[in-house]
């Protein structure tokens, strides 16, 4: 096993005007499950492919353990990759698919059979070893792709959206299976996804990328509680954090008819007379019309059993607001309510730079 280090790693595609991955500095601990997440085109796959050796590194270095692998060919990096489309060989059985890389590497037949058997047991694939991929379900094919990586006993697993071909229900099951399997095997893993829920549920830590630039690295809790900027704040969490402009007032931030107290040192750092306030849907206290707070007209309530989500807009503006409400007793569409954030859970960002103004999460990179 080994750690993985991106040291100022940069990839500028030929003809590109700006790097697809720009000075990436990131360390993945030995045995850690790190998720690279961000919207499409932010540089996740490029980062993973640089680590795999499938993409040239134009500047900086990549290390696996203490070894600089920047110029080492993919096959000599001791990594195994699981792709989105699994890339199984259709004419080979499950066992042959799983053992193929070992055969190429010259591992003898008995050892191969043993490793394939062990992986099949781990993945609940023993009864399918003689089948061809076309006779398997999507979930089983996904497990064969995992098995092919596991039998190689690599130092690092690289996974590029390995669940995207599964239906929603299977995706939820499989993400728990992969996460628990990774913990059992203890192999350092870098996992790419655009899905923030996958990131939150699977990763020991999450690295958020935007336009090729690393925005924040931290535990799921760090990112949820203390996003470094409005981008991370809006990207992590579902439904997304409410983000809206609010005026700075004496002692805090004006929130409708009420001033919510906020550390003055934070507000002193703000550019201009406004800040961007962030409030998660579950962090509102919902009061009746006319109570202190922000007057919000209810457009729709989505009932989800125990909880519900109120979708509305701030009266006199078109700012949209989402608030979690009791699923059994909630306001109705057309009513006006008064919303106040729970003071400890308010996020404050600079309106100009988008940077967090209140205390930042301790960097755990
Ligand atoms: P993600 O995996 O986050 O969707 P990618 O790493 O695939 O993002 O792409 C990052 C950026 O690099 C995008 O702007 C994409 O268009 C560009 N890009 C990816 N591959 C190539 C390539 N082979 N040649 C030129 N540009 C590329």
Give me the CATH number covering residue 188: 3.40.50.300
265 contacts: CB under 8 Å, gap ≥ 6: none
Whether 41 is in the pocket of ligand 1, judged by its Cβ within 6 Å, is yes
226 and 243 share one domain: no
Residue 55, number of CB atoms within 10 A of its CB = 18
Q: What distance in Å separates the CA atoms of residue 198 and residue 168, rounded to the nearest whole number? A: 12
Whether 215 is in the pocket of ligand 1, judged by its Cβ within 6 Å, is no
Q: What is the pLDDT of residue 257?
A: 83
Q: What distance in Å separates the CA atoms of residue 200 and residue 203, rounded to the nearest whole number? A: 6
Q: Identify the domain boundary among 230, 258, 284.
A: 230
171 and 296 share one domain: no
Whether 19 is in the pocket of ligand 1, judged by its Cβ within 6 Å, is no
Q: Identify the domain boundary among 212, 230, 248.
A: 230
DSSP 178: H
pTM value is: 0.93
Give me the CATH number covering residue 319: 2.40.50.140
148 and 283 share one domain: no
46 contacts: CB under 8 Å, gap ≥ 6: 11, 20, 21, 55, 212
Phi, psi of 32 (to 5 degrees): -80, 150
11 and 82 share one domain: yes
- Provide the number of structural domains found in the chain: 2
179 and 262 share one domain: no
Q: What is the pLDDT of residue 344?
A: 81
Q: What distance in Å separates the CA atoms of residue 317 and residue 93, rounded to the nearest whole number? A: 62
CB-based contact 189:34 (threshold 8 Å):
yes
SS3 label, residue 219 = coil
268 and 301 share one domain: yes
Domain of residue 325 covers 239-350
| 199 domain-assigned | yes
Q: What distance in Å separates the CA atoms of residue 334 and residue 108, rounded to the nearest whole number? A: 72
Phi, psi of 126 (to 5 degrees): -55, -40
Distance 209 CA to ligand 1 centre (A): 13
CB-based contact 10:22 (threshold 8 Å):
yes
Cα angle vertex 55, ends 202, 81, to 5°? 40
343 contacts: CB under 8 Å, gap ≥ 6: 260, 261
CB-based contact 117:27 (threshold 8 Å):
no
49 and 138 share one domain: yes
221 and 141 share one domain: yes
218 and 245 share one domain: no
Q: What distance in Å separates the CA atoms of residue 24 and residue 198, rounded to the nearest whole number? A: 22
Q: Identify the domain boundary among 174, 197, 230.
A: 230
CA of 355: how far to CAs of 228, 270, 271, 276, 363, in Å?
Answer: 6, 9, 11, 9, 15
29 and 150 share one domain: yes
DSSP 169: H
DSSP H helix total and E strand total for the chain: 9, 20
Q: Given ligand 1 and candidates 11, 20, 215, which is best to mutate, with the most ligand atoms within 8 Å of its CB?
A: 20
| pLDDT tens track, the chain, 365 positions | 699 999 999 999 999 999 999 999 999 999 999 999 999 999 999 999 999 999 999 999 999 999 999 999 999 999 999 988 878 999 999 999 999 999 999 999 999 999 999 999 999 999 999 999 999 999 999 999 999 999 999 999 999 999 998 999 999 999 999 999 999 999 999 999 999 999 999 999 999 999 999 999 999 999 999 999 999 999 999 999 999 999 999 888 988 888 888 888 888 889 999 999 999 999 999 999 989 889 999 999 999 999 999 999 999 888 899 999 999 888 999 999 999 998 788 999 999 999 999 765 433 33
CA end-to-end distance (rounded Å), the chain:
19
CB-based contact 212:245 (threshold 8 Å):
no
Distance 13 CA to ligand 1 centre (A): 8
| The two three-digit tokens of residue 124, written as one number | 């609940």
Q: How many CA atoms lie within 13 A of 130 on its CB side?
A: 1
The alpha-carbon radius of gyration of the chain (Å, integer) is 24
Q: What distance in Å separates the CA atoms of residue 245 and residue 275, rounded to the nearest whole number? A: 6
Whether 45 is in the pocket of ligand 1, judged by its Cβ within 6 Å, is yes
Distance 63 CA to ligand 1 centre (A): 22
The residue whose CA has the least distance to atom 22 of ligand 1 is 13
Strands (E), the chain: 4-11, 21-28, 33-37, 59-64, 67-68, 79-82, 156-160, 188-193, 205-210, 213-218, 242-249, 252-255, 258-261, 274-279, 284-288, 294-304, 307-314, 320-326, 336-341, 346-350
């Amino acid at each position: 096993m080994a750690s993985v280090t991106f040291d100022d790693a940069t990839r500028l595609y030929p003809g590109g005007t700006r790097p697809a991955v720009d000075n990436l500095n990131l360390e993945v601990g030995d045995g850690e499950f790190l998720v690279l997440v961000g919207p499409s085109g932010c540089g996740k796959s490029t980062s993973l492919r640089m680590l795999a050796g499938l993409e040239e590194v134009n500047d900086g270095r990549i290390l696996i353990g203490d070894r600089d692998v920047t110029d080492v060919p993919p096959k000599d990096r001791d990594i195994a990759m699981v792709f989105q489309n699994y890339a199984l060989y259709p004419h080979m059985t499950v066992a042959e698919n799983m053992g193929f890389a070992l055969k190429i590497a010259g591992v003898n037949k008995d050892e191969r059979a043993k490793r394939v058997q062990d992986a099949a047991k781990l993945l609940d694939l023993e009864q399918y070893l003689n089948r061809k991929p076309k006779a398997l379900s999507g979930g089983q094919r996904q497990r064969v792709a995992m098995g092919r990586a596991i039998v190689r006993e690599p130092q690092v697993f690289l996974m590029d959206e390995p669940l995207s071909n599964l239906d929603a229900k299977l995706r939820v099951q499989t993400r728990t299976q992969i996460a628990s399997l990774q913990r059992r095997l203890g192999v350092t893993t870098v996992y790419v996804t655009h899905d923030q829920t996958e990131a939150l549920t699977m990763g020991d830590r999450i690295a958020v990328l935007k336009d090729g630039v690393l925005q924040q690295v931290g535990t799921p809790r760090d990112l949820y509680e203390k996003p470094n900027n409005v981008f991370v704040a809006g990207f992590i969490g579902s439904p997304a954090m409410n983000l809206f402009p609010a005026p700075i007032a004496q002692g805090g931030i004006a929130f409708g008819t009420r001033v919510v107290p906020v550390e003055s040192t934070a507000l002193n750092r703000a550019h201009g007379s406004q800040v961007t306030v962030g409030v998660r849907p579950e962090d509102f206290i919902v009061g009746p019309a006319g109570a202190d707070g922000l007057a919000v007209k209810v457009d729709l309530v989505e009932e989800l059993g125990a909880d519900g989500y109120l979708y509305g807009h701030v009266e006199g503006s078109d700012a949209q607001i989402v608030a979690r409400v009791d699923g059994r007793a909630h306001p109705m569409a057309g009513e006006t309510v008064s919303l106040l954030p729970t003071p400890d859970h308010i996020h404050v960002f600079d309106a100009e730079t988008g940077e967090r103004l209140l205390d930042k999460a301790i960097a755990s990179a």
